[in-house]
Amino acid sequence: MRAYHLTAPTLDALVRVDMPRPTAGPGEILIRLGAASLNFLDLAVASGHFPVPAFPLIPVTDGAGTVEAVGEGVAGFNPGDRIIPHLMPQWQGGTMTPEAIAMIRGVTAPGSLADFVVVPAAGAARAPAHLSVVEAAALPIAGTTAWNAVRAGRVRPGSVVVLQGTGGVSLLALQFAKAAGARVIITSSSDAKLERARALGADETLNYRTTPDWASEVKRLTQGRGGDLIIETGGAETFAASLEAAAIGGVVFVIGFLTGGVITAPVFPILGKTLTLKGNNTGSVADFRDMLRAVETLRLRPVVDRVFPFEEARGAYEFQARGGHFGKLAIACD
């Protein structure tokens, strides 16, 4: 089968290889992959900013496809079923433990840049029927993270949700929040992207280049209230502003570190507004399946900006690193 190996923590070490097709063992499923989608985690792995135990590895956490074969003892899945594996298949639910997240696809286990992959059946789910394989591949990390953010923020009609950027998590959170009746404010440095976000349902948009004090603008737009949920993606350069923009009793849901991972921020807003700071590690298989049910019920579609051919996988990584995309980037595996 075709596959990619990352042989060292650099994109120069992403090489196309041919290797034997794997076989499903007891409790496992063999998936013929149709598409993979990139996340910031994949860039971090390929640039040495996220540790992996050993090279080479088949990279890219997220993917989707069809069941090719099932191993002994597998029930509920059959050849031909459209399926999405979760990135941490051993974390079935409940509180995260080191043992539950020891297996991470594309990090400690084979990922999605291949024609076939074997995954535990307990860590997979049927793809929503209305989605293409490319759209389905966009859901594991971004969809589960967005779903858990909206749940952590107790989003309901009248809630104010503030989103940073127009990546995959933010745009899925926008759709979940609007479905819950929330008012959504989204930031970006691109007016063109903000216009597209409005078309998806954003109520207000803020260009943080032309409005660097976007936290004060959030307060102004909400008559001093602020956001009940802030999805914090930036890290070092945005964290203090997220605290300022949050409402009394609000939740700052931390999902990224695009501008740096070391934070310096005032303590008083956390104390004075009794804020909840919530870290995130995507979520369990149970969270993943809850998210998929919501996507199917609401007939939501993740935004996929561009699909790269399998042979141009490195180009997809480079495009992701430049940060000019709106939503998700995918790689076709068929």
Q: Which domains does the chain have, with CATH numbers?
A: 2-139+302-332 (3.90.180.10), 143-279 (3.40.50.720)
Q: What is the pLDDT of residues 149-167, one digit of tens each?
A: 999 999 999 999 999 999 9
**Residue 261 pLDDT:** 75
| Count of beta carbons in the 10 Å neighbourhood of residue 317 | 23
Q: What is the pLDDT of residues 175-207, one digit of tens each?
A: 999 999 999 999 999 999 999 999 999 999 999
Tokens 């991470």 — which residue?
104
For residue 174, the SS3 value is helix
Q: What is the pLDDT of residues 49-88, one digit of tens each?
A: 899 999 999 999 999 999 999 999 999 999 999 999 999 9
pLDDT at residue 135 greater than cutoff 80:
yes
**Residue 315 pLDDT:** 97
**Residue 76 pLDDT:** 92
**Residue 97 pLDDT:** 95
Distance between CA 241 and CA 231 in Å, rounded? 12
Indicate the pairing of strand 62-70 with strand 82-85.
Answer: antiparallel
Work out the mean pLDDT of the chain and round it to a whole number.
96
pLDDT at residue 235 greater than cutoff 90:
no
Q: Nearest-5° angle of CA 83, CA 89, CA 94?
A: 120
**Residue 100 pLDDT:** 94
The candidate with the shortest Cα–Cα distance to 165, out of 219, 226, 80, 234, is: 234
Instruction: For residue 165, count CB atoms less than 10 angstroms from its CB and return exposed for 0-12, middle for 13-18, buried for 19 or more.
Output: buried
Confidence of residue 274 (pLDDT cuts 50, 70, 90): very high
Confidence of residue 31 (pLDDT cuts 50, 70, 90): very high
The share of the chain scoring above pLDDT 90, in percent, equals 93
